Amino acid sequence: MKDRAIDEILKKKAPALRRVDSALLDRVSSAVQSCMQPVRPLPPSWLLAGGLILSCASVALAGAARAGFFGVEKLSEIQRAAIFSSLGIFIVLAALACVSAMIPGSRSRVSPEALLGAGSVALLAVFAILFHDYHTNHFVHAGVVCLVTGLVHAVPAAALCWAVLRRGFAVDSIAAGLAGGTLAGLAGVTLLELHCINFQALHILVWHTAVVPVAGIAGALLARSPRNRADSGSRTRAAGQ
């Protein structure tokens, strides 16, 4: 059976448009009329994405300015170029994914799940290629400090991202949380790369990279909480006016 034959069958069997109860339409119209006000449409995607990128960069730079730019000073030119260009690419992609997730019916360039996976793997690959010191001094202690530092800086990045996108509406709150968490996690890793002087390969591969998936999963879990879902309606209502 050819596709055209299936098309014909589907067309024949497809239910026709039916009259909707006029009382229901009247009810909807009067509900809409009762709170009809002009609203300001969201700004273009590039502007929102730019705001997100700027927020993440500010958090990473402010954090590094406070703690010291020791890491970036110790990195070679090649290491700097490779690390910060890959972080930059993934921050741009994550910002675009965040904006898509917060605007219904927008084009989805990359799914947040794929972004989290690809981002983590790409960072692992870049770090594995660039760092070859396989000693492990204070692996857990130093690692936990870096992980916590990265996550602590991911929190204000996430808060700023939420502020930029507060007027949006997530049709899939988990995907939006995952994208937001990933973006915030990337801001945390950027800070670590600017600040951390521990260049042991395993330290960077495990603890620095872990900031991205941990922040991403935390974002998805926060967005998944029932309270958050119940609140989303009232938030969008307030933000829409």
Partner 1 sequence: MGDDMGLLAGARAGDGEVCANAPSPAGPDPNLDALMSLYQKGDFTAATVLIARLSPQLHRFFMMQFASRADADDLLQETWLRIHRVRHTYRAGEPVLPWFYAIARHVRVDHFRKASRAAAREQRLDETPEVAAAIPSVIPGAADDFEALLAPLPASQREVIEMLKVAGMSLEEVARATSSSVGSVKQKAHRAYENLRERLGGARLKKGRMGGLS
Enumerate residues 175-194 that contact partner 1 by CB under 8 A: 175
Q: Which two tokens stand for residue 94?
A: 């994550």
Residue (of 34, 37, 176, 44) closest to 98 by Cα position = 176
The answer to whether 4 contacts partner 1 (rule: CB under 8 A) is no
Residues between 218 and 237 that touch partner 1 (CB under 8 A): 229, 233, 236-237
> What three-state secondary structure class fits 169?
coil
Closest by CA to 179, choosing from 60, 87, 86, 99, is: 99
Q: First vs last Cα of the chain: how many Å apart?
A: 53
Binder to partner 1 among 24, 132, 134, 141 (CB under 8 A)? 24
Residue 209 amino acid letter: T
Please give the size of the binding site for partner 1, defined by CB under 8 A.
58
Of the candidate spans 24-32, 52-60, 79-87, 149-157, the one that interacts with partner 1 by CB under 8 A turns out to be 24-32
Q: Would you say 77 or 230 has its CB closer to partner 1? A: 230
Interaction with partner 1 in 81-140: which residues (CB under 8 A)? Answer: 100-109, 111
Count CA within 13 A, CB hemisphere, residue 196: 25
Report d(CA 56, CA 179) in Å as an integer: 13
Among 62, 65, 166, 240, binds partner 1 (CB under 8 A): 240
Residue closer to partner 1 by CB (options 43, 68) is 43
105: DSSP letter: T
Judge contact between 112 and 184, C-beta under 8 A: no
Which stretches of the chain bind partner 1, using CB under 8 A? 1, 3, 5-7, 9-11, 13-22, 24-25, 27-29, 31-33, 35-42, 44, 100-109, 111, 167-169, 171-172, 175, 229, 233, 236-237, 239-240
